[in-house]
Structure 1
Amino acid sequence: MALDAFDRALVAATQGGLPLVARPYEAVGAMLGVPGARVRERLGQMLDQGLIRRIGAVPHHVKLGFVANGMSVWDVDDLQVDELGERVGALPGVSHCYRRPRHLPLWPYNLFAMLHGRSPAEVQAQAAEIAALLGPACRQHDILYSTAVLKKTGLRLKEA
């Protein structure tokens, strides 16, 4: 589906993120010369049409004081991983959780859960909570700590 001129302007205005103001849609609308309601309406249509997948906040964990960030990886019984993964993903310290294929023999892990804490001990305590939740369905796990903050970006329009 082709984007019209307004859609292109809307994506360009929001591709770096929504403005950090009390009324972000109104601020974007002011940049585009339309009411904030038009911005909300069109973004909703773009979601419904599959032109964009989501609108979400991406917190900068380090700036929020969460300096220990680790991807916990788990070797979970394949027959239970979906149900248990749902439960792990609902835990308060987990920002995202997903299933991935194993790459045997070197990589036996099939469940990933990103943990954030103010110290490695806090992340390890969260991992212990996950281990208890997974119980005997989990054979092994590890925590891979972040060493750099990577910039997350959304949709970008190619410069003409």
Structure 2
Amino acid sequence: MLDDIDRKIIQATQAGLPLTPQPYQAVAEQLGLSADEVMQRLSAMQQSAIIRRIGAVPNHYKLGYRYNGMTVWNIADEIIDEIGQQVGQLEFVSHCYHRPRHLPEWPYNLFAMVHGKSQQEVDSQIQQIKDLLGDKNLGSDVLYSTRILKKTGFRSGGPSTAQNDS
């Protein structure tokens, strides 16, 4: 269960950690805690699945990556884990995950997001995935980004309210 301190830590960090050399120390000072306590509590919340992960969320557009494609693949279910690991380890794949098919309209079960600074770079990356998959690729498509969407996760509005902005 969350106590008041855990809620305060979530509220203080949900928009991102401070961009300082010691972000946990900055959060701790803001809340009147030690950095060790902040880190221990975040770790405990992660272990108990209250929070899913702590990670960087880069803004690809600000980094010059203006071309994005969600590649979708039809892979035999019995090898999806093995293939997903291989695709997910490619340096240009930022997200890779298994999703259920929705037949007959949607036969794809492996999703992999690629980013590039040009359309040609993205096309080359997609071809590399095709080459890796070979005859294990039973079909594919690409959904290209056409606009930037707000990227946020769960947001707590306070001790008694919550909203999801994702």
Shorter-chain TM-score tier: over 0.9
**How far does the alpha carbon of each residue in 1:26-48 deviate from its partner, in whole angstroms, 9 at most, with x for none?**
11111101121221111111112
Specify the SS of the correspondent of 1:139.
Answer: coil
Counterpart in the other structure of 1:22: 21
Matched, 1:136 2:120: no
Query: What is the letter of the counterpart of residue 58 of structure 1?
Result: V
Counterpart in the other structure of 1:153: 152
Whether the 8 Å CA contact 1:72–1:127 is kept in 2: the answer is yes
Identity %: 54
Using the TM superposition, give the Cα deviation of residue 105 of structure 1 relative to its aligned residue in structure 2, in angstroms.
1.9
Whether the 8 Å CA contact 1:69–1:145 is kept in 2: the answer is yes
Query: What is the letter of the counterpart of residue 44 of structure 2?
Result: Q
Work out which structure has the larger RCO, using CA pairs closer than 8 Å and 6 or more positions apart in sequence: 1
**How far does the alpha carbon of each residue in 1:53-103 deviate from its partner, in whole angstroms, 9 at most, with x for none?**
111111111111110011001112222222111100000000111111222
Q: Distance in 1 between matches of 2:59 and 2:16?
A: 13
TM-score of the superposition, structure 2-length normalised? 0.90
Specify the SS of the correspondent of 2:5.
Answer: helix
Counterpart in the other structure of 2:117: 118
Single out whichever of 81-90 and 33-42 deviates more from structure 2: 33-42
Matches within 5 A, 1:1-40: 1=1, 3-40=2-39
Counterpart in the other structure of 1:93: 92
Whether the 8 Å CA contact 1:88–1:130 is kept in 2: the answer is yes
TM-score of the superposition, structure 1-length normalised? 0.93
Query: What is the letter of the counterpart of residue 77 of structure 1?
Result: A
Matched, 1:73 2:72: yes
**How far does the alpha carbon of each residue in 1:100-143 deviate from its partner, in whole angstroms, 9 at most, with x for none?**
12222221111110001101111111111110111101122111
Q: How many residues align?
A: 159
Specify the SS of the correspondent of 1:76.
Answer: coil
RMSD: 1.3
Query: What is the letter of the counterpart of residue 135 of structure 2?
Result: P
Query: What is the letter of the counterpart of residue 70 of structure 1?
Result: G
- Name stretches of at least 5 consecutive residues in structure 1 with no aligned partner: none
